[in-house]
Amino acid sequence: MAEAALKIGGGPRQTTFMDKVMEVLPEGGNLNLCLTCGACSSGCPATGLEGMDPRKFLRMAALGLDEEITKTGWVWCCTQCRRCVHACPMNIDIPRLVYNCRAAWPREERPKGIRGSCDAALNTEGNSAMGANSEDFQFVVEDVLEEVREDQPQFKDMQVPINKHGAMYFLNQNSREPVTEPDEMVPLWKILHTAGADWTYGTIGWAAENYCMFLSDDEAWEKIVRAKAKAVDDLGCEYWLNTE
């Protein structure tokens, strides 16, 4: 009787996309420690979208299905919330693998909305993803503050400093709020006022969000962070408070 033989693999395993990502992560991001338990998928808000979930995504990466994982639209559904990492008993950094898959896309093919928000931040001195300019931001802040002082006597002395040199805290503000929901800025002002905090906004680098991170554009991400950090330093503030 002829002996049956099963041959697994056609030769030495070739370097995969996941291998390359592991090389740049501390301890390889534990990407090769998956137990396939599914804990990552159980709490993921993107599970099931585009027919994908974190466990399936990681297993495909481990099997060297590079083309499939670097082209799936699911990577843009991931919120980078890192719930999967916290749920994983092996502390596997799946979001970082997702981030690098996003970076593999040609920039012009990445989601238009995220790309546009990143570009808007690069093109405004306040780094607003909404494209709001600093003059409008300051006008809205001063206008809302005046209304609060008039309508709420207990806050008639409340201050919302802008470009205050030497303040202890430099506060960033999500630029969606002054553009579409200006009253949403007020609760934080009240907290700072009640606490007697020494703080300020800045007309430079005032926006809190950074969509260039979600776009996986490292150069643009770093440029925006450095611009905001410089604004903090230029005003001589001790701490930088980012609401995002």
C-alpha span between 123 and 118 (Å, rounded):
9
Q: Is the Cβ–Cβ distance between 188 and 243 less than 8 Å?
A: yes
Q: Does residue 97 contact residue 61 with C-beta atoms inside 8 Å?
A: yes
- Model's pTM, two decimal places? 0.83
Can you tell me whether residue 240 is helix, strand or coil?
A: strand
pLDDT, tens digit (0-9, with 9 covering 90-100), for 114-139? 999 999 999 999 999 999 999 999 99
- Over residues 89-116, the pLDDT tens digits come to 999 899 999 999 999 999 999 999 999 9
pLDDT at 163 over 60: yes
**Residue 232, both tokens:** 């903090």
What is the DSSP secondary structure assignment for residue 199, as one 8-state letter?
A: E
Domain assignments of the chain as residue spans, ordered by start: 17-105, 112-241
